[in-house]
């Protein structure tokens, strides 16, 4: 994977800080980024600086977090009205003594960083009280031009990182520019922009971070704020005034085109000679004659559609009930519930289990359906470092007062192909009385000798509280499910809106999935064929292209080749297609900007000749210099 770097600019005049900015970028963009940030420093409205410091540091592992929701507060006419709103927000986050916190802003102006306070005792926690704590090493996905300046977006990026830090429950910021009277409060996943927190001409201002947690964990929080490299996944801001609704859409499409991020729907004829490495049909069952015949028979018997939602009379057909029983048996679960898609299964399970007053803990690289389920639930969302079980444990320990806690992770990560440390994940959830949920969309039919998933792979008797899976990948059909304890599944039947209000899966999909599941149980040798194909493909790759798993066999059928640059990824994909191989370039927003890749999905239907030819072509197209 291409290395990323943090490029920082700090400018001062007669010892007073007047400008600062930073960007996270690839090595090839460092010169341009340095030039753009220097130009920004020299053109500051506060005057020409007499000192500009430019620094480049290796970013290390990048954590990607969602941007805070934005709420624009009404235009208060007085400072006191603004602070009363601050008090309401902070009290809602469990913070008292607002007047005393406000008084401390008389001391923040002299700090280079922020004041870090214990939210209950108001004890100062910064190791250096003259300097404060600086939130740094961050960027957001909204910027393409490194010289772009947007004070609101930069403040929102900083607040998003601060609120994601372990133990930080709120941030208050008052602009230190005498000409600006605005400020903000960040709490409970939201950025509240307050139009008036001081009088014009008042030079005071600064930042206060409010911490709730153990004293011995403060240093870890400070390390996160000052050292952890974070990219904030930006949300669209309000459109520019005066731009018509269709012009707004055209502008967005134009930007996507310019950034090599525009996708196009393509039709691949069924008789195409193209060898596809893009399909998630890992076992080749989508085209299996037995599966197709079962799907056709179900359609003939029950009709093209189910005709109603599951809880309406006639919506649940015998094939649905039979498939749910078969899934529960296959997964070693007490019960299972079907959804129309895997996406709906994640949305439905997460939004039913947690809501306002709860906390959901989500891996930084979870699938979009998990991310959207977390957002839609209304629960507080804590994003933990990818596959870092100790970070998950720390965050759970700091949320003891939550009504309900849910930890959710992909089992096999769809764009990276690596696997969850399931044993430790379950242990941590058990220790902290949190629901455990694992998305096995890319694990069922792939991991374990019989394709039963992660528990079989790790030989674990313990099961997650909820295991989500899909019928549309290794099982070659369409739909999704959640399997688990009987109480959990029954709870979803009563409270999961995508189950209650969505039309039941069509009979053909259910019939085809049921046949595929029976084939998988009766013919585990197709899983062994998939494992053999994956090993053969990886073995034929040049050493710099092989995925690494600490010496163990690669745990999935997903082989990522990360090239970083979007244009380069498109070029490699086009060259492969010209050679008769389909491996589309995966780009933002599926993966982060600057982390474009070719994603090879291996199937049991691939021949060894096809796999070796693809590896040979890839070896020629992607040299170590490209990575």
Asked if the peptide bond before residue 589 counts as cis, ω within 30 degrees of 0, the response is yes
Q: What is the CA radius of gyration of the chain?
A: 26
Query: How many Å apart are CA 533 and CA 551, to the nearest integer?
Result: 18
| Three-state secondary structure call for residue 273 | coil
β-strand 585-586 against 596-601: which pairing, if any? antiparallel
Q: 65-91 burial string, b = 16+ CB within 10 Å, else e?
A: bbbbebeebeebeeeebbbebbbebbe
Query: CA nearest 520: which of 608, 606, 414, 446?
Result: 446
Query: How many Å apart are CA 211 and CA 118, to the nearest integer?
Result: 5
Query: CA nearest 530: which of 342, 268, 280?
Result: 280
- Give catalytic status of residue 200 as yes or no: no
| Three-state secondary structure call for residue 468 | strand
Non-local (6+) Cβ contacts of 91 within 8 A are 98
Catalytic residue among 196, 473, 593, 626: 473
Chain-centroid distance, C-alpha 129: 35
Maximum Cα–Cα distance across the chain? 83
Chain-centroid distance, C-alpha 596: 15
* Strand ranges across the sheet with 138-140: 62-66, 229-233, 138-140
Query: CA nearest 432: which of 455, 386, 465?
Result: 465
- Give catalytic status of residue 17 as yes or no: no
SS (H, E, C) 510-537: HHHHHHHHHHHHHCCHHHHHHHHHHHHH
Catalytic residue among 161, 196, 405, 442: 442
- Give catalytic status of residue 414 as yes or no: yes
* Contact assessment for residue 507 and residue 314, using Cβ atoms and an 8 Å cutoff: no
Q: 206-224 burial string, b = 16+ CB within 10 Å, else e?
A: bbbbbbbbeeeebebbbeb
DSSP annotation string for 130-162: TT-B---SEEETT-SSTT---HHHHHHHHHHHH
* Contact assessment for residue 604 and residue 446, using Cβ atoms and an 8 Å cutoff: no
Tokens of 86: 């601050």
| Three-state secondary structure call for residue 617 | helix
| Residue 226 CB-half CA count within 13 A | 16
Catalytic residue among 362, 414, 478, 496: 414
CA 313, 315, 317, 322 torsion: positive or negative? negative
Phi/psi for 86 (5° steps) reads -60, -45
Please give the positions annotated as active site: 414, 442, 473
């Amino acid at each position: 994977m291409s290395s990323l770097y943090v490029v920082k600019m700090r400018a001062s005049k007669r010892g007073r800080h007047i400008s600062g900015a930073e960007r996270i970028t690839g090595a090839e963009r460092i010169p341009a980024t340095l030039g753009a940030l220097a130009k920004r420093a020299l053109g500051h409205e506060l005057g020409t600086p007499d000192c500009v410091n430019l620094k480049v540091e290796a970013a290390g592992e990048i954590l990607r977090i969602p941007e805070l929701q934005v709420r624009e507060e009404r235009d208060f006419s007085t400072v006191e009205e603004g602070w009363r709103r601050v008090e309401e927000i902070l009290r809602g986050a469990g913070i008292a003594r607002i007047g005393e916190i406000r008084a401390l802003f008389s001391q923040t102006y002299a700090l280079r960083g922020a004041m870090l306070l214990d939210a209950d005792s108001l004890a100062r926690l910064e190791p250096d009280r003259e300097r404060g704590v600086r939130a740094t090493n961050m960027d957001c996905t909204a910027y393409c031009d490194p010289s772009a300046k947007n004070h609101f977006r930069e403040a929102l990026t900083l607040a998003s990182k601060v609120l994601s830090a372990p133990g930080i429950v709120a941030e208050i910021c008052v602009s230190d520019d005498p000409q600006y009277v605005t400020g903000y409060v960040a709490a409970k996943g939201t950025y509240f922009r307050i139009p008036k927190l001081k009088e014009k001409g008042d030079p005071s201002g600064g930042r206060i971070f409010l911490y709730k947690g153990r004293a011995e964990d403060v240093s870890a929080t400070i390390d996160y704020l000052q050292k952890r490299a974070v990219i904030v996944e930006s949300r669209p801001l309000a459109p520019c005034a005066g731009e018509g609704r269709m012009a707004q859409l055209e502008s967005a499409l134009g930007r996507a085109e310019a950034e090599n991020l525009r996708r196009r729907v393509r039709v691949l004829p069924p008789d195409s000679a193209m060898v596809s490495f893009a399909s998630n049909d890992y076992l080749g069952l989508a085209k299996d004659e037995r599966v197709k015949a079962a799907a056709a028979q179900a359609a003939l018997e029950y009709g093209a559609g189910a005709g109603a939602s599951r809880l309406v009379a006639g919506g649940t057909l015998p094939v649905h009930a039979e498939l749910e029983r078969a899934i529960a048996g296959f997964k070693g679960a007490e019960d299972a519930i079907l959804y129309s898609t895997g996406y709906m299964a994640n949305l439905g399970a997460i939004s039913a289990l947690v809501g306002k007053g709860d906390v959901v803990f989500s891996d930084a690289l979870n699938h979009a359906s998990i991310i959207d389920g977390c957002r839609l639930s209304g629960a507080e969302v804590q994003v933990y470092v990818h596959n870092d079980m100790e970070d998950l444990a720390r965050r759970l320990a700091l949320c003891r007062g939550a009504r309900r806690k849910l930890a959710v992770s992909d089992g096999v990560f769809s764009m990276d192909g690596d696997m969850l440390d399931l044993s430790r994940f379950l242990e941590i959830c058990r220790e902290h009385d949190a629901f455990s949920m694992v998305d096995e969309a890319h694990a069922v039919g792939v991991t374990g000798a019989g394709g039963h998933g992660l528990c079989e792979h790790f030989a674990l008797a313990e099961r997650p509280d909820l295991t989500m899976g899909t019928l549309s990948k290794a099982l070659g059909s369409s739909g999704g499910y959640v399997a688990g304890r009987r109480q959990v599944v029954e709870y979803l039947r009563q409270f999961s809106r995508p189950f209650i209000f969505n039309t039941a899966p069509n009979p053909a999909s259910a019939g085809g999935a049921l046949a595929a599941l029976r084939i998988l149980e009766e013919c585990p040798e197709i899983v062994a064929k998939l494992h053999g194909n994956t090993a053969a493909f990886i073995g034929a790759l040049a050493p710099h292209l092989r995925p690494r798993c600490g010496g163990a066999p690669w745990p999935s059928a997903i082989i990522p080749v990360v090239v970083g640059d979007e244009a380069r990824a498109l070029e490699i994909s086009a060259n492969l297609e010209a050679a008769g191989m389909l491996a589309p370039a995966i780009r933002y927003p599926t993966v982060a900007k600057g982390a474009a890749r070719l994603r090879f999905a291996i199937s049991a239907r691939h021949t060894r000749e096809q796999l070796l030819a693809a590896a040979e072509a890839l070896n020629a197209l992607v040299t170590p210099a490209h990575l």
